[in-house]
Amino acid sequence: MNLPKELEIQKEEIRGYAESYNLDFYETIFEMVEFDELNEVASYGGFPTRYPHWRFGMEYEELSKGYSYGLQKIYELVINNDPCYAYLMKCNNLVDQKLVMAHVYGHCDFFKNNLWFSHTNRKMMDQMANHGTRIRRYVEKYGEETVEDFIEVCLSLENLIDPHLPHIKRKADNGKVNGKQQEDSENGSPVRLKSQKSYMDSFINPAEFLEEQKQLSKKRELEKRKRIPEEPQRDILQFLLEYAPLERWQADILSIIRDEAYYFSPQGQTKIMNEGWATYWHSTIMTRKCLTDAELIDYADHHSGTLMTSTGRLNPYKLGVELFRDIEDRWNKGKFGKEYEECEDWQVKENWDKNLGLGQEKIFEVRKLYNDLMFIDAFLTPDFCRQHNLFVYEFNDRTDYYEISDRDFQIIKQKLLFSLTNFGQPSIYVENANYFNRAELYLKQKHEGVDLKMSEARDTLANLYKIWTRPVHLETIVDEVKTQLTFDGQEHSEIEID
Amino acid sequence: MVKKIDKDQARFRQIIRGKVKKNLRKYITQGELIGKKGKELVSIPVPQIRLPHFRYSIKKAGGVGQGKGEIGTPIGRGDDGQIPGAGDAPGQHILEVDVSLEELAEMLAEELELPNIEAKGKKNITSDKDKYTGISQVGPESLRHFKRTYKQALKRQLISGTYNPLDPVIIPVREDKRYRSWKVTSKPESNAVIIYMMDVSGSMGDEQKEIVRIESFWIDTWLNYQYKNIETRYIIHDAVAREVDKETFYHTRESGGTIISSAYKTADKMINEFYNPNEWNIYLFHFSDGDNWGEIDTDECVMLLKENLLPKINLFCYGQVESPYGSGQFIRDLEDFLLDEENIVLSEIPDKDGIYDSIKEFLGKGR
């Protein structure tokens, strides 16, 4: 819209290249902004309008400091929306703008086609603005402090969602009746013992036995109905919306926080792939199509900055793009499958080339179907780990330093997968909303080998209390001991359980 | 133009400065921007408020990194929450950039809203300040101008016909190299001396000393920025005091008792001998865990301060570092007896997170 003529021409050209490579995206609108406007938009997570809150101010303060000290600078910012919006910083030079545009088309293609984004709200720009309006109205009615306090409580719980939820068809979605019936036939209906021959059935399942089973199953069913939730529930925010004693405005704010958490969730699940994909395409488009001789140095400088690694920091841009290139190369040469895996002669393996030319097709398939967890699980290879110097680090109590602890492929992969599972967040479920038969809330962490940060866990529990208003418990493991943390509104306690 | 973010930013600042919302103050952490001073990385503190979440303890989780190094190579310090790999917000590249001590000091000043010091002493001493404004053909490698150098190399290759567009490799040679250069400006300055005193008795552990080291790094940085000629002296004490060099200052651990007055006497002697108060701005910093040998010595300390030291110096700062062994009594005694003295600042530093506030208390008065 407000792009200068020169950039408008570039944009059309780059879009042409992107399309010629079969990238497929929603209409993409580029806005030119000053650095401080860019910092502002970035603070709001890319959205021009969000609800008012100091945490966005905090983000802004940090971004603008980093920028004015020359320590960091935002190059690209793009929102998953239809149309996509992307921002260009006014004072960047032309080659940076071209690079960013090429990069952005990569992201836009990813947003539109990757499965994990298929349920995101593509009108989030409007939705965010609506959230802002609603919360501003509550601020006017109930006061800034009150609303701000409540938002903080919600934010402290914002990661308690079920990242897979948008992809699961729940029983409730199929209509209650249908769901109930199905369940009955699975668990609730009377048990019949299996009889091989139909004429034996009345002996194996006599009437009184069936009657007894029927009573039992009824009883079980009743018990189950009494239990809330029926099954452990991972979307704790949804659970609180349904069962916590919230006022209307509070429930609305909680639902807003939950909405936004679900919107951002796929971005967290595909960070490595998404950045890798965009980097792959900016480098392809720039180096093969639209870089002029004069721009080479600036391009190389910027591009190497993007891919820079410093010891100990895993750069998602670098890891992502290298993995995509590795996949492309392997599928071009046929370096996959049983025959290749079982070959033990490294020299043969090294020179393996069956000229299959399947690379492009494969990476497009990967960008469609995978998320980071699956991506690493399926495509990280020992060769790749070696070539790219990946390692595992652990904390050493004795020296008070993080240290390189291993370079073994299996251990690297395992650690990487762990850090990507549920985006490196602990999985916590609501087990029981009527604990002790006193309407106390009982949560349970599915412990996967790593303890919670205790100081924060206590404070979070206290925030949960503010919503539940009755004592809250969390079952977890602390130093290999099963432990129940409790906050009763007054004080914290911690007991061992068996 | 008023921006939408302004209000949110103002609110955030109100909170971190403790004007509102006491409960949030405890979630303030030091976020960091990474700068480079020579080879060393320095972290520039940026206040952040981290709301509590159910999250993993990073120390227990470890992680995956990329780079060369043997097993056992350290890659980062163990402040929980400040894992080396944690800094990747969407769409930002984090760069590491060289910063000078001067720039660090400016950042610190802005962060902590430190006022400039009103120095006393002779104003006719001038100091020279460097400003990087030009480009030169000679200079140290650290000031090499990447882009100019490569442009120059490209020019040379084009002219000499060695540039091949099909294989665009550019290799600068000696003559191509371009460096940033500076201009010198003068401004009047005065002298200052910082005397650090630290209790090294048995109860001061490694953690306490770490706090003293970090805090004095920032104090040094700040005072160096304010004064041209600055001298630093170090005194350690347990039951007796002695002057030491910097290295020893930070790495000595004695057992035995504590007699604080011994340090004050040594400082006083030092001032009388070397630093005429009419010509020098004098700063005394004393760190201890607050255990002193009996009331009699504390009385003596108070007297020494009141009569000998405070009249001669710009500022006396006492930082009491919390330790599991110390009673922490000393700061309360100083409070009782020296409350109305102008140039004394007392600060309690419970842990590393307390450093930030403590520096602000010490230097926030502009003396």
Query: What is the complex's ipTM, to 2 decimals?
Result: 0.83
Residue to substitute from A402, A419, A459, A464, interface B, most B β-carbons within 10 A? A402
User: Are the Cβ atoms of A69 and B44 closer than 8 angstroms?
Assistant: yes
Q: Residue B197: its pLDDT value, please?
A: 93
To the nearest whole Å, the CA of A137 is away from the closest chain B CA by 16
Q: Quick one: pLDDT band at residue B269, thresholds 50, 70, 90?
A: very high
Average pLDDT over residues A292-303: 88
Residue to substitute from B3, B5, B82, interface A, most A β-carbons within 10 A? B5
Q: Quick one: pLDDT band at residue B189, thresholds 50, 70, 90?
A: low
User: Are the Cβ atoms of A72 and B31 closer than 8 angstroms?
Assistant: no
Average pLDDT over residues A402-430: 88
Mean pLDDT over each residue of chain A, to the nearest integer: 88
- What does the alpha-carbon distance between residue A273 and residue A367 come to, in Å, rounded to a whole number? 7
Task: Select, from the ranges A75-79, B87-91, B324-328, B361-365, the one with the highest average predicted confidence (pLDDT).
Answer: A75-79
Contact A256, A135 (CB under 8 A): yes
User: Are the Cβ atoms of A456 and B73 closer than 8 angstroms?
Assistant: no
| Position A62, amino acid | E
Asked if the model's pLDDT at residue B201 lies above 60, the reply is yes
Task: Calculate Rg over the CA atoms of chain A.
Answer: 27
Contact B260, B287 (CB under 8 A): no
Q: pTM of the prediction?
A: 0.72
User: Are the Cβ atoms of A391 and B154 closer than 8 angstroms?
Assistant: no
Asked if the model's pLDDT at residue B184 lies above 80, the reply is no
User: Are the Cβ atoms of A402 and B84 closer than 8 angstroms?
Assistant: yes
The lowest-confidence range among A56-70, A163-177, A333-347 is A163-177
Asked if the model's pLDDT at residue A414 lies above 70, the reply is yes
Q: Residue A125: its pLDDT value, please?
A: 94
User: Are the Cβ atoms of A159 and B94 closer than 8 angstroms?
Assistant: no
Average pLDDT over residues A410-421: 89
H/E stretch holding A96 reads helix A94-113
To the nearest whole Å, the CA of B84 is away from the closest chain A CA by 6
> In sequence order, what are the residues at sequence separation of 6 or more whose Cβ sits closer than 8 angstroms to the Cβ of residue B155?
none
User: What percent of chain A lies above the pLDDT cut of 90?
Assistant: 62
Any idea of the CA torsion for A60, A62, A68, A71, to the nearest 10 degrees?
-130
Q: Characterize the bridge pairing of strands B229-237 and B241-244.
A: antiparallel
Task: Please indicate if any CB of chain A lies within 8 Å of the CB of B35.
Answer: yes
User: Are the Cβ atoms of B65 and A61 closer than 8 angstroms?
Assistant: no
Residue to substitute from A418, A453, A478, interface B, most B β-carbons within 10 A? A453
Average pLDDT over residues A79-103: 92
Q: Quick one: pLDDT band at residue A494, thresholds 50, 70, 90?
A: very high
Average pLDDT over residues B232-247: 88
| Higher local confidence (pLDDT), B118 or A179 | B118
User: Are the Cβ atoms of B54 and A54 closer than 8 angstroms?
Assistant: no
- Residues in chain B with CB shorter than 8 Å from the CB of A40 are 3-5
> In sequence order, what are the residues at sequence separation of 6 or more whose Cβ sits closer than 8 angstroms to the Cβ of residue B209?
B198, B250, B253
The lowest-confidence range among A470-474, B78-82, B245-249 is B78-82
Average pLDDT over residues B187-196: 77
Q: Quick one: pLDDT band at residue B84, thresholds 50, 70, 90?
A: very low
Asked if the model's pLDDT at residue A260 lies above 80, the reply is yes
Q: Of A155, A158, A400, which has the smallest distance from its Cβ to B78's Cβ? A: A400
> Could you tell me which chain B residue has the CA closest to the CA of A420?
B63
Phi/psi zone of residue B24: left (φ > 0), alpha (ψ -120 to 50 degrees), beta? alpha
- Residues in chain B with CB shorter than 8 Å from the CB of A315 are 66, 88
Q: Quick one: pLDDT band at residue B92, thresholds 50, 70, 90?
A: very low
Q: Residue B39: its pLDDT value, please?
A: 57
Task: Please indicate if any CB of chain A lies within 8 Å of the CB of B80.
Answer: yes
Interface list for B 124-183 with A (CB within 8 A): 146-147, 150-151, 154, 165, 168, 170
- Could you tell me which of A124, A72, A78, A125 has the C-alpha nearest to residue A101? A78
Asked if the model's pLDDT at residue B216 lies above 50, the reply is yes
| Higher local confidence (pLDDT), B317 or A400 | B317
User: Are the Cβ atoms of A53 and B8 closer than 8 angstroms?
Assistant: yes
Asked if the model's pLDDT at residue B164 lies above 50, the reply is yes
Per-residue pLDDT tens digits for B9-59: 988 888 877 777 777 777 777 666 666 666 566 666 677 888 999 988 877
Q: Residue A443: its pLDDT value, please?
A: 96
Tokens (6 digits) for A271: 């960070």
Q: Residue B287: its pLDDT value, please?
A: 92
Q: Of B72, B80, B170, which has the smallest distance from its Cβ to A403's Cβ? A: B72
| Higher local confidence (pLDDT), A201 or A150 | A150
C-alpha distances out from residue A19 to A27, A79, A404, Å: 12, 19, 43
Task: Please indicate if any CB of chain A lies within 8 Å of the CB of B49.
Answer: yes
Asked if the model's pLDDT at residue A176 lies above 50, the reply is no
Per-residue pLDDT tens digits for A3-24: 888 899 999 999 999 999 999 9
Q: Quick one: pLDDT band at residue A382, thresholds 50, 70, 90?
A: very high
Q: Residue B91: its pLDDT value, please?
A: 36
> In sequence order, what are the residues at sequence separation of 6 or more whose Cβ sits closer than 8 angstroms to the Cβ of residue B230?
B191, B192, B193, B194, B223, B224
| Higher local confidence (pLDDT), B114 or B220 | B220
Q: Residue A467: its pLDDT value, please?
A: 96
What's the order of all strands across the beta sheet hosting A401-406?
B63-66, A390-396, A401-406, B74-77
Q: Residue B125: its pLDDT value, please?
A: 53
User: Are the Cβ atoms of A42 and B146 closer than 8 angstroms?
Assistant: no
Average pLDDT over residues B178-201: 80
Asked if the model's pLDDT at residue B127 lies above 80, the reply is no
Asked if the model's pLDDT at residue A289 lies above 60, the reply is yes
- What does the alpha-carbon distance between residue B192 and residue B315 come to, in Å, rounded to a whole number? 11
Asked if the model's pLDDT at residue A353 lies above 80, the reply is yes
User: Are the Cβ atoms of A453 and B58 closer than 8 angstroms?
Assistant: yes
